A = this chain, B = another copy of it.
Amino acid sequence: MNRQIRLKSRPIGAPTADNFEAVDAPMPSLGDPPAAAARTGGAAGPAWSPVLRRTLWLSLDPYMRGRMSDGPSYAAPVAVGDPMCGHTVSEVVESQNPAFRPGDTVAGYDGWQEFAVSNGADLRTLDRTLPVSTALSVLGMPGLTAYVGLLDIGQPKAGETVVVSAASGAVGSVVGQLAKIRGCRAVGIAGSAEKCQYVIAELGFDACVNYKRDDFKQALSAACPGGVDIYFENVGGAVLASVLRLLNRGARIPLCGLIAEYNATEHVGGPNLRPLLVNRAMIKGFIVSDHSDRAPAFAQEMTPLVRDGRIKYREDIVEGLDAAPAAFIGLLQGRNFGKLIVRVAAL
């Protein structure tokens, strides 16, 4: 059987366990026609050269909250009754595609399920000189998000101050470490004293401020004595408003996510924009999937940095596919510590 976690109903506000349904579906087979395979991310071309794989690792990411709703967004929602979407690392079980052999480890977008089949156009073979789960974290979509947002939109210059929210998370941790490598002052914002301690002691940020502190505004100001040149925005809400007060002239704000607002059921206001005007500052939204052209440069720079330990990462591993819904609900509340990944099967 192929265990799947399907979207059972669309959440109103924060997702609950009731919005998901665990189902034992039939095993997909190499003979499945392209139409069925398309659902699991396969690009159905004229030649059907299928690849069947077993999911080893499933990435859980905040953007999935958007896919659970059917409001206007940058990507189509998951259909009710379909498996939830998501990046995966898998082992090839059977293949009629000459590019993939049984036993290969591949990165794909197979979603919340144990097995998937496609013609392989959506797969990328991983080498195993680094832990393959890094393809979902520091060397995967979250890492590329940090790379594109900080370097291409933020355009950091040595000596500047870079602030990043969700600093202990998959994206924020890379933003701050890359900022340090570029000669910047890196200041994190995170949701607990333990996370802040990790961000400073392990990741090497210059400072990290707990946004739950009563004196958050003052503490953030003290952590940025030279003001803020780049704010990598992951969360929205009150944190954004606090950072805007500290902007330097010509500041840049790559807008990557607004996780604090994803579960909102009523209209959420935003920050007053006068600081942008007065400081000639810029906010620019971006979606990492637009920037796949940057993946080769990203991999070339980041892989040796990760291998040499100059960029560190932390994974928060959850055991078993059935644990995914609760882990995802916790992710939206900041309960994870490090990149949230589900171990679906052991290699």
Contacts and interface: CB of A to CB of B under 8 A. Distances in A.
A276 to B, nearest CB: 4
A282 interface: yes
Interface in A264-287: 267-274, 276-287
Given A272-B267, A273-B255, A285 B290 contact: no
A236 interface: yes
A238 B53 CA distance: 51
A257 B277 CA distance: 7
Given A280-B285, A283-B283, 11 more contacts: A73-B278, A256-B277, A258-B274, A269-B269, A270-B272, A273-B285, A276-B285, A277-B286, A280-B284, A280-B290, A282-B285
A181 to B, nearest CB: 26
A98 interface: no
Contacts of A286: 277, 280
Contacts of A258: 273-274, 277
A271 B73 CA distance: 17
A284 B282 contact: yes
A243 B282 CA distance: 18
A74 B74 CA distance: 36
A315 interface: no
Interface string A32-54: 00000000000000000000000
Contacts of A257: 277
A284 B276 contact: yes
Given A270-B270, A272-B269, A284 B281 contact: yes
Contacts of A82: none
25 contacts: A73-B278, A74-B277, A74-B279, A74-B280, A236-B273, A240-B273, A255-B273, A256-B277, A257-B277, A258-B273, A261-B272, A267-B272, A269-B272, A270-B270, A270-B271, A270-B272, A271-B273, A276-B283, A277-B285, A279-B285, A280-B286, A280-B290, A281-B284, A281-B285, A282-B282
Interface of A: 72-74, 236, 240, 255-258, 261, 267-274, 276-287, 290
Task: From A74, A268, A274, name the one whose CB has the most chain B CB atoms within 10 angstroms.
Answer: A274
A286 B261 CA distance: 28
9 closest residue pairs by CB, A with B: A277-B285, A276-B285, A269-B269, A282-B284, A270-B270, A270-B272, A270-B271, A74-B278, A283-B283
Contacts of A278: 72-74, 285, 287
A236 B269 CA distance: 13
A287 B280 CA distance: 7
A161 to B, nearest CB: 18
A283 B258 CA distance: 16
A276 B270 CA distance: 12
A261 B275 CA distance: 13
Contacts of A287: 277-278, 280
Contacts of A72: 278
A230 to B, nearest CB: 14
A257 B261 CA distance: 27
Contact of A268 (B272, B277, B285): B272
A282 B261 CA distance: 19
Contact of A270 (B73, B269, B279, B281): B269
